[in-house]
Amino acid sequence: MPFLKTLMRLASSRKNRLCLCLLLGCLLAGASKVSAQTVSSKEIQIKAVFLFNFAEFVEWPTNAFVDPHAPLVIGVLGEDPFGSFLDDTVRGETVNGHPLAVRRYQDVSEIKDCHILFISRSEADRLEQIVAALKDRNILTVGDFDGFAQRGGIIRFVTDKKIHLRINLEMAKAANLTISSKLLRPSEIVQAGKD
């Protein structure tokens, strides 16, 4: 993780950070000769870096924050696949004057202040109920299971030989979030209910 943290610090501009994420996703493809446990660990690290970058490439309305210096919260709902990777990635970082914080939730009712919510695979069967409970809230929902974006999530990680993004712009607009064109360009845009 120190290696990833060093790379993130070297990539000082938003454009460079997005390029770094995409590069790391491509590196995942080259890890085919590495053990499954190592590939899984690398994939989790890359997804943690993506979550950090989403904080830089998404705009929230000002009323999404209690005050101008309130933390930007990255939450994990359900089983946490990241362990310490996500905490290590965001430690000491700020975005637009907001320090980053990580919180973990076992139930959607626990979510108070959250800006980016990774919804774990353990919650896949309840996705529609979770999305309904978060309606009218400015939360960027992210997941990595089949049908996530089609069933109401906003960004889905798709992993084959590298990590791709599927983005549901309709749901992002409903959450009053603006996603940078720099993030949209290399992504697949989907609509809820459609493949």
pTM over 0.85? The answer is no
Average pLDDT (160-176) is 93
* Least confident piece of the model among 75-79, 150-154, 164-168, 185-189: 185-189
Residue 100's alpha-carbon distances to 5, 19, 84, 114, in angstroms, are 15, 21, 15, 11
b/e code 67-95 from CB counts within 10 Å (16+ = b): eeeebbbbbbbbebbbeebbbbbbeebeb
Residue in this structure with the two tokens 């353990």, named with its chain if needed? 122
Q: Which pLDDT belongs to residue 192?
A: 61
What is the Cα–Cα distance from 57 to 18, expressed in whole angstroms?
A: 9
pLDDT greater than 90 at residue 18: no
Give the separation between CA 49 and CA 18, rounded to whole angstroms: 10
Q: Residues with Cβ < 8 Å from 85, sequence gap 6 or more?
A: 1, 44, 45, 48
What CATH number was assigned to the domain covering residues 2-190?
Answer: 3.40.50.2300
Cβ-contact 52, 90 below 8 angstroms: yes
The CA distances from residue 1 to 18, 86, 87, in Å, are: 18, 10, 10
In the predicted model, what is the mean pLDDT of the chain? 83
Contact 120, 114 (CB under 8 A): no
CA-to-CA distance for 25 and 19, rounded, in angstroms? 10
Q: What is the pLDDT of residues 29-74, one digit of tens each?
A: 444 333 333 447 899 999 999 999 999 999 999 999 999 999 999 9
Could you tell me the residue ranges of all domains in the chain? Answer: 2-190
Distance CA 107, CA 97 (A): 29
